[in-house]
Structure 1
Amino acid sequence: AYMYPSPIQKPRPPITIAAMGKRMLKIAAQFADTWNSLGGDWNTPAEKMLKKTHERNETLNQYCNEIGRNPQAINRSFLFFGECFNSIFESEENFQDIVGQFKDIGINEFIFYYPREPNQLSKFEQIAKELIPKFKTGRWI
């Protein structure tokens, strides 16, 4: 599709593709600047989300290699929600542990909902102010 006026970003705006299935992962391998995933449904525990995300990440790498694209050219993004999200803001240690595990499998961008539970707000704000800036510089653990 043509746009007028044309986008400011050159050569084009970045494309994020959310994909969990193999067909969409093939499309992400071809066209995505960023691949976004979530690990399951609302009640999926963090360990299972991590395992599924790792499998999908490896599949995406395989598809990139098959078409001659460097897998490192695609950012990896993860949306935390549900059971996993509820546990991530219980403590700084939980945040470091869970996010660190996803970072270890190649995820480099993280998306969080604003907490719905009142008891999570202060920990969420503390993590946002203290840990996330350290995480961005690689000096958080």
Structure 2
Amino acid sequence: MKDGFLKAAALSPALRVADCVYNTQQIIAQLREAAGRGVKLAVFPEFCLTGYTCGDLFLQRTLQQGALTGLQSVLDASKELDVVALVGLPLLVRGKLYNCAAVLCKGQLLGLVPKTYLPNYGEFYEKRQFTPGS
């Protein structure tokens, strides 16, 4: 921190729809590179672990588990990095699916924030698969 400011970055890795392994690798690479540049807050897109356009694949347990496995890999990779990161993923909780941002730092999951206002127009029909946070 310099003069009360911190370096933040909005990162947009190359993603493949429903390819959690590839997406995780891209996220970790960008997170490490950003930390190397002194970034202290790294924000990734929503659904960056799965890709945004998975449609009804979001309802498949295989994709949900792939996102959780990816999140664990990002957590493990972040243990040595001095950066807070927000990473998007679908999360199943008590039978309801949420569009969440995972907040993590130094290998610790600090919190999960569900998206509150879900779009439901045009090509954006998140209410079909997801429950809004409250």
Shorter-chain TM-score bucket reads 0.3 to 0.5
Provide TM-score, normalisation by structure 1. 0.45
Q: Which has the higher helix share?
A: 1
Q: Which has the larger radius of gyration?
A: 1
TM-score by length of 2: 0.47
